[in-house]
């Protein structure tokens, strides 16, 4: 590299072949002068040394002189041979590169070995390529010496760094998939039979149910239990076999989790054992609290509780915001003689209204709570940001105002000791129910479960499951279909289903209340079918009336948001239409679960755009769907409605503008 830089500086690459010979002869004479000058300088520097040393140095100088002379002669011969052979420029250029490489390798070898003689010879060879000008020659010598010094420094640096490892290229490592290891109670649940029709159990064969409830079951037309009811009811009754104060063997009872398909009878699975356990109570206190995500679900569960407590001393109160706060407070408690007395044994509540009573109603006491029922548990876990569960726990273990009148105490559960069992305290048992109960231990940890026991009809639970998505149960009588469509023909397809294929009664879901309202207006303006909407745009009384009319068959099409997707039991639904494809598998399962309930048959249709098909079909398949088929809609079948549809779109635009104008005023 140094030689190349020197030659480039001197312009050797641009010289012609004829000028090289004359330059070599001129430099040869110059070299001889330099040798003589260095010899005289060396003699003057060694004048003060011993004669023996002088002799040795003179011999070395002579030897160096001979070597330098031989080197110059060799170079002269080489230049003459180059001229005689008349090689072309390319051959001369390649020969020049080889000479440079050889000279540089000799130079590096000399530096590494530290041989002064070879270093001197190398410097002589390099100076041969310099110009005949004396000043230029001096500059060349200085640059050569500088380059040699740099090579020596680099060589020393490379030698000193040989102890360090030089890192090479990095290969991409294959990362092994992490296997999901579930807790024992999740990995090995108590399995519930999925086939409801062929596994019905007569109510008389289920142990532990009192005769009074058996008569009420028969009066309500129930002769057999579904598998989930036959498994869960005895388990809850067994936890109160020693009374409300103690669990089996005197220990705290285990919490119970139930994961079963929609329409499998989960509500009755906790109503029957709770009513029977509380039927022996003496003093009226809030001993059972059922928390549900929506008002409609709370009303439905409250209705079931009331039907099985009718004729007994048990009282059911619902606090879901359908009444004023003062009316709910009056229904929960009353003051007699300056002392507050509870008027409720069972409270059915929504999270928001429940928190209001805990914080604002001083007479609302959960000190005697025995059962905490969490329905639609997966949605309640997702809504834990309201901190309703932590506030319930604080209210349960809060010291009563008058501790002298309270024989029993409540303390936060801890290690079992003699002091913790005397005096006894009422244990708090959690009962969780959901069709899509998560298997994520981190989310379930938020519920602070005590030695939970899981009842599940999902057979894919394994201790080393590697699935990234939970597997759920689909209703047994459900038939699933998807319809490929575009944004422009989606309304036409749903009109085709209702007017020509007579898919009614049908429950249609959208992803937003604005979408539900717009589709409702479109179908209403098109005509030919009675339609209603169900969303938060309506008041609670309006929603209740709409659901009642739909269940009685007065409305063949109900367009709804996901407000009606969870838990609402509408027996008349034969068809579910997902006008907007759900983004999450849990939403899909709860939507299609509004049909094919209690072992009956039902159909579900999902409208999919082209970009949605791959992701949606994979999501449904991974969740354990038995199979979703494609429903073809021929374009010819929609042509007869296109003219009327275009006219309806224009009317829809005017209707939307009028509504916005009314809202402004």
Residues 6+ apart with CB under 8 A from 614: none
The yes-or-no verdict on residue 299 having pLDDT over 80 is yes
- Residues 551 and 583 both lie in one domain: yes
Whole-number CA gyration radius for the chain: 47
- Give ∠ CA 597-384-272 in degrees, rounded to 5: 40
Torsion of CA 211, 212, 217, 223, to 10 degrees: 20
Range of the domain at 17: 2-47+54-155
3-class DSSP state of 638 = helix
When mean pLDDT is compared over 33-42, 133-142, 478-487, the highest value belongs to 478-487
Tell me what the mean pLDDT of segment 550-569 comes to.
Answer: 83
- Give ∠ CA 549-519-574 in degrees, rounded to 5: 45
- Residues 602 and 566 both lie in one domain: yes
Q: Which segment of 28-37, 184-193, 486-495, 569-578 scores lowest on mean pLDDT?
A: 28-37
CA distance 453 to 288: 20
pLDDT band of residue 248 (cuts 50, 70, 90) is confident
The yes-or-no verdict on residue 612 having pLDDT over 70 is yes
The yes-or-no verdict on residue 83 having pLDDT over 60 is no
Name the DSSP letter for residue 385: G
Name the DSSP letter for residue 629: E
Question: What is the separation of C-alpha 17 from the centre of its chain, rounded to a whole number of angstroms?
Answer: 75
The yes-or-no verdict on residue 11 having pLDDT over 50 is no
Out of 107, 135, 155, a domain closes at 155
Q: Could you tell me if residue 381 is inside a domain?
A: yes
Tell me what the mean pLDDT of segment 72-89 comes to.
Answer: 54
CA distance 389 to 349: 12
Q: Is the pTM of this model over 0.85?
A: no
Computed from CA positions of residues 556, 561, 564, 566, in that sequence, does the dihedral angle turn out positive or negative? positive
- Residues 520 and 378 both lie in one domain: no
- Residues 606 and 517 both lie in one domain: yes
What does the pLDDT read at residue 97? 43
- Residues 105 and 247 both lie in one domain: no
Give yes or no for a contact between 306 and 290, defined as CB atoms under 8 angstroms apart: no
CA distance 305 to 263: 17
Report pLDDT digits (tens) over 312-325: 999 999 999 989 99
Q: Which segment of 47-56, 127-136, 200-209 scores lowest on mean pLDDT?
A: 127-136
3-class DSSP state of 49 = coil
List the beta strands (DSSP E) in 218-362.
224-225, 256-259, 288-291, 316-319, 333-336, 339-342, 346-349
> Across the chain, how many H-helices and E-strands are there?
23, 19
What does the pLDDT read at residue 119? 41
pLDDT band of residue 337 (cuts 50, 70, 90) is confident
What does the pLDDT read at residue 368? 92
- Residues 12 and 115 both lie in one domain: yes
Q: Provide the β-strand partners of residue 386.
A: none
What does the pLDDT read at residue 243? 83
The yes-or-no verdict on residue 342 having pLDDT over 50 is yes
- Residues 104 and 203 both lie in one domain: no
Average pLDDT, the chain: 78
Domain count along the chain: 3
CA distance 415 to 115: 85
The yes-or-no verdict on residue 201 having pLDDT over 70 is yes
Tell me what the mean pLDDT of segment 143-152 comes to.
Answer: 51
- Return the closest-CA partner of residue 461 out of 430, 434, 440, 433: 440
What does the pLDDT read at residue 382? 74
Q: Could you tell me if residue 514 is inside a domain?
A: yes
């Amino acid at each position: 590299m140094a030689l190349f830089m020197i030659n480039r500086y001197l312009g050797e690459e641009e010289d012609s072949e004829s000028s090289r010979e004359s330059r070599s002869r001129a430099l040869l004479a110059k070299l001889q002068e330099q040798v003589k000058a260095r010899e005289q300088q060396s003699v003057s520097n060694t004048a003060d040394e011993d004669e023996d040393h002088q002799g040795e140095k003179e011999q070395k100088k002579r030897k160096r002189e001979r070597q330098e002379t031989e080197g110059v002669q060799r170079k002269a011969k080489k230049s003459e041979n180059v001229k005689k052979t008349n090689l072309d420029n390319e051959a001369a250029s390649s020969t020049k590169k080889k000479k440079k490489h050889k000279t540089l390798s000799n130079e590096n070898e000399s530096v590494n070995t530290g041989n002064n003689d070879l270093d001197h010879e190398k410097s002589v060879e390099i100076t041969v390529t310099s110009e005949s000008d004396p000043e230029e020659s001096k500059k060349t010598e200085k640059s050569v010496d500088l380059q040699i010094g740099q090579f020596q420094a680099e060589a020393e640096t490379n030698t000193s760094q040989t102890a360090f490892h030089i890192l090479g290229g990095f290969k991409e490592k294959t990362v092994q998939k992490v296997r999901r290891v579930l807790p024992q109670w999740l990995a090995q649940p108590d399995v519930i039979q999925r086939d409801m029709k062929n596994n019905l159990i007569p109510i008389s064969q289920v142990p532990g149910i009192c005769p009074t409830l058996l008569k009420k079951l028969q009066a309500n037309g129930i002769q057999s239990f579904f598998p989930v009811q036959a498994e869960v009811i005895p388990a809850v009754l067994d936890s109160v076999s020693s009374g409300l104060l103690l669990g089996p063997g005197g220990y705290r009872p285990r919490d119970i989790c139930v994961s079963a398909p929609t329409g499998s009878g989960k509500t009755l699975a906790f109503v029957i054992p709770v009513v029977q356990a509380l039927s022996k109570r003496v003093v009226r206190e809030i001993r059972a609290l059922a928390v549900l995500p929506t008002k409609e679900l709370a009303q439905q569960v409250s209705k079931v509780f009331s039907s099985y407590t009718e004729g007994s001393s048990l009282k059911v109160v619902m606090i879901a915001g359908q009444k004023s706060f003062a009316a709910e407070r009056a229904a929960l408690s009353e003051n007699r003689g300056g002392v507050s007395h509870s008027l409720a044994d069972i409270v059915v509540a929504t999270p928001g209204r429940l928190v209001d009573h805990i914080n604002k109603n001083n007479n609302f006491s959960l000190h005697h709570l025995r059962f905490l029922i969490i329905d639609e548990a997966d949605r309640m876990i997702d809504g834990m940001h309201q901190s309703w569960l932590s506030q319930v726990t604080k209210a349960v273990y809060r010291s009563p105002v008058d501790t002298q009148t309270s024989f029993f105490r409540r303390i936060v559960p801890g290690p079992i000791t003699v002091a913790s069992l005397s005096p006894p305290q009422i244990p708090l048992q959690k009962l969780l129910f959901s069709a899509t109960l998560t298997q994520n231990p981190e989310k379930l940890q938020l519920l602070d479960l005590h030695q939970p026991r899981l009842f599940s009809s999902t057979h894919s639970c394994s201790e080393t499951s590697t699935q990234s998505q939970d597997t759920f149960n689909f209703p047994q009588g459900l038939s699933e279909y998807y319809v490929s469509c575009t944004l422009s023909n989606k309304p036409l397809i749903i009109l085709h289903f209702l007017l020509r294929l007579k898919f009614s009664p049908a429950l249609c879901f959208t992803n937003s209340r604005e979408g539900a309202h717009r589709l409702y207006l479109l179908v209403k303006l098109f005509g030919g079918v009675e339609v209603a909407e169900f969303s938060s745009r309506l008041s609670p009384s309006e929603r209740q009336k709409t659901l009642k009319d739909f269940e009685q068959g007065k409305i063949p099409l109900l367009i709804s948001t996901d407000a009606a997707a969870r838990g609402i039991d509408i027996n008349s639904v034969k068809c579910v239409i997902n006008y907007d494809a759900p983004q999450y598998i849990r939403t899909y399962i709860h939507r299609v679960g509004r049909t094919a309930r209690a072992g009956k048959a039902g159909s579900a249709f999902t409208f999919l755009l082209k970009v949605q098909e791959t992701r949606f079909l994979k999501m449904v398949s991974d969740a354990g769907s038995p199979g979703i088929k494609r429903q073809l809609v021929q374009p010819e079948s929609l042509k007869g409605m296109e003219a009327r549809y275009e006219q309806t779109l224009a009317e829809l635009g005017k209707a939307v503008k009028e509504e916005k104008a009314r809202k402004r005023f």
